[in-house]
Amino acid sequence: MLRMKMNMRMMMKMMLVLAVAVAVGVEARGGRGRLSNFLNNDSGPSGNSLRKFNTRANPIARDDLDALSGSSEENIGLCASTPSVANLNTSMPIPDSYNSHEAYSKCKPDILQQGSCGSCWAFATTGVLAQRMCIKSEQIGQGYELAPQALVSCTDQICYTKAGDRCSSPSSTCYCSLGCDGGYPDGAFRFMQDEGITPELCVKYVSKDGTDPLECSDVQTMVSECTATSNATVNGDRCYYHSSSDIETIQRDIMQHGPVLASYEVFEDFGEYDSGVYTCPDDGSDSIGWHAVIIVGWGVEDNTPYWLVQNSWGTGFGIDGYFKIARGTNECNIESRLVTSLVNTEGVVFASTSGAAVAKPATAFLAVAVAVAVAAIFSTN
């Protein structure tokens, strides 16, 4: 469970403060150094005839994979149980291959870098929302980049019970995201429903080193100091889950509305991935943790159906920041942990690519009223 993993990390941090020897031991592992080398070094594939995918010359170490994997093992249960609210066109033909970033090239985002912070949950939720807003608006601008840092720095606000009520601190009934120590994607979607989210132009990402130097009050100040050309309230529908047994519905949702968020189990050999179609090990290996990513399309390679996935580990990972994972077999549980949301861009003024127009909040915590179509306020219907 994510809460167990978070508690273990917090206990480790306390031990580091109390015992210098422990701190020296952790540093001696060189985990941060190895991760830094990976983040800044794009080594080509080494190749391995025994594997179904090509492997890296400098694989990511297990400890570093653990630091990068910050998604929840379970959903809180805050979203609709089916995608019926999406009003999907069930007669829509499904092609053998599809790439949302090619179909809507103006909405193709940069591949971002979460660094050694377990903030994948924040990158994936804001990334899905930004791309869906761009696809629906058919416009382009820097305003489509939302601020994962706003979620990372304000996790003391992202606490919910399974009934959807706000709560104050982690417990057996209170599910809280914990910044660089991980978070709940559906909790983040619900938070953006309740409070909104600000553009990346207002709050830059500063947690690449695995720490969070900002308080939530700092984020509020940054948002309030952004200049807006006009305000518009963004309303939309609630988030919803997908069933792993209905692959075609997932595909139609991606084609009709845009990419979806998926969380999957990370195994040690995933750190070796360079290209090809990844499949989970079948040797009984224990998973390291869960990682949140964005499914943008699908295809077939060497007769193996796959999902095309956008990661947040920079362009040095995988296929220029993307990877392929087997489709239709719930590989690493990726098809059982899908969540996304609809958006409504009516009345929104979008930012120019120069960044001259950015968001300014009206009354809510994080830019409920915005100028760049990036505050996600969802209805609770």
Mean pLDDT of the chain: 78
Catalytic residue, from 75, 231, 291, 344: name it: 291
Residue 58 is among the residues annotated as catalytic for this protein: no
pLDDT value of position 350: 52
Strands 304-310 and 289-301: antiparallel
Whole-Å CA distances, 269 to 52, 82, 99, 144, 345: 12, 33, 26, 34, 41
Q: Which of 66-75, 166-175, 247-256 has the lowest mean pLDDT?
A: 66-75
Catalytic residue, from 75, 231, 242, 311: name it: 311
d(CA 79, CA 29): 40
d(CA 374, CA 139): 13
Q: State pLDDT tens for residues 72-111.
A: 888 999 888 888 878 899 999 999 999 999 999 989 999 9
Q: Which of 235-239, 331-335, 341-345 has the lowest mean pLDDT?
A: 235-239
Two structure tokens written together for 189: 């979607």
Contacts of 147 (CB under 8 A, 6+ apart): 126, 197, 198, 199, 200, 202, 203, 204, 205
Q: State pLDDT tens for residues 248-279.
A: 999 999 999 999 999 999 999 999 999 999 99
CA nearest 332: which of 98, 73, 115?
73
Q: State pLDDT tens for residues 202-213.
A: 899 999 999 999
CA nearest 139: which of 379, 364, 371, 340?
371
CA nearest 188: which of 59, 69, 366, 65?
366
Contact 312, 117 (CB under 8 A): no
d(CA 66, CA 263): 14
d(CA 178, CA 187): 11
Whether the per-residue pLDDT at 229 is higher than 80: the answer is: no
Report the CATH number at residue 76: 3.90.70.10
SS3 178: coil
What is the average pLDDT across 38-60? 58
Q: Name the DSSP class of 59.
A: P
Q: Which domain holds residue 320?
A: 2-378
CA nearest 282: which of 247, 245, 331?
331
d(CA 199, CA 168): 26
pLDDT value of position 349: 52
Two structure tokens written together for 351: 């930012």
Within 273-372, strands assigned E span: 273-278, 289-301, 304-310, 322-326, 338-341, 369-370
Residue 303 is among the residues annotated as catalytic for this protein: no
Q: Which of 48-52, 263-267, 363-367 has the lowest mean pLDDT?
A: 363-367
d(CA 39, CA 285): 25
Indicate the number of domains in the chain: 1
d(CA 117, CA 31): 13
Instruction: Put residue 57 in one of left, alpha, beta given phi > 0 → left and psi -120 to 50 → alpha.
Output: alpha
d(CA 294, CA 301): 20
Q: Tally the C-alpha atoms within 13 A of residue 238's C-alpha that lie toward its C-beta.
A: 19
pLDDT value of position 226: 78
d(CA 285, CA 267): 7
